[in-house]
Each structure stands twice: as C-alpha cells, then as structure tokens.
Amino acid sequence: MFATASPRRVELAKKLDCVKNGRITPVFAPSNVNEVSLDGKDRAARTARANARLKAEHAAKTHDAPVIAFDTVVGIGDEVLGKPTNKADALRMFKLLCGNTHSVITAVCIIANGKVYEDGETTFVTFGAFDPVVTDRYIESGAPFDKAGGYNIADAELAPIVSSVIGGIDNVVGMPLTLSEKLIEENILYGEARNSH
C-alpha cells in the first residue's frame, strides 16, 4: 500500500515497472500524521526520514499489506522549507530560493514483514534571479500551498526561473522512481517470493 494521497505521487507510482507489469497493484491512502521538523546537523534529511517513517508506521497500523511512504523536504542553508502557510510565506520562500541552489530530499520508508527499510535521494535545484511577475502569478494560482518549498518542478509556469537540476526530477516531484523500484523489489517482491518457499 502506498501511504499517500498526493496526486503527483499517484501519477509517479503508475510509472514504476513493478506497477506497469502488474507485479503489484497499488492501493493509495492518505497517511494523516502530524509531521515533525527536526533541528541540528543534516536537518532536512533527518526531517524527511522521520516523517516518511511516521507515515509508514501510521499506515501499517491499519493495513496488513506492505506499506511504502514518502516525505519530501526542501533544504536551503540551515532552513527546512515545508508547505507554505499563506501567500506571504510562499513569497518568502521564493525570495530565499531564487538566486541560490537548494536540496530536495525525498525519504522512502517501507514496512514489510514486520521490518522497516529506509533510504532517501537528494536532488540539487538552482533557481535564477527572483522574478516578481512569475512568482506572483504562481502564488496567486494557489499552486504552492500543498508542496514542500512552495513549488512543483514540473509546473511549466516556473520554467523561466529554474536554472538547473542535478539529480532526478521525479525525486523533486516526490518519488524517486529508481530508488523506490529497488526498495520494492528487494524488500517486498523478493521478500514475498523468499517467504513463499
């Protein structure tokens, strides 16, 4: 079971080879947990990992099938950018991100056969100079408010300010496909095959 109701993650999950070839039939359900924000060294990575685990553990309480959960965090300097709370917060985030490189970390957590498997992936995104026309239009559309860091890299409206992406774009959207496929293969599909003998 995929512990997510994010439309972006639902679409990405459909691109997984194990889904396309019918080896798993994905079931999606929201995992309504109170997310945490940790302090200290490697704050963004540890925050993403903690939240992915919280989501997986919450879902595992009500589902017998293996559970996979994700959490995406945007980190810049010592700050972790979650979902903006209002237009002013979204604008603050864009001013912080523009002209700089930030990291986007997606943590993946699987709970299967009573065991927990965790990993994560980092992508580095650079935004060009702050453009009030582009950002104001994007904020007014309402697009930022359900996204870590206040943006979706796949939104065409943001193309003018995205300078470079080093790493997987799918990771920035919310699900690192190659890593997720590997974790599912090793810890769910292979595990089930091994346990059936």
Q: Which residues belong to the active site?
A: 71
Distance from C-alpha of 104 to C-alpha of 168, rounded to nearest angstrom: 10
Nearest to 60 by CA among 137, 112, 133: 112
Q: Who's near 134: CB < 8 A, 6+ residues apart?
A: 157, 158, 160, 161
Distance CA 143, CA 148 (A): 11
Give the number of other CB atoms < 10 A from CB of residue 3.
27
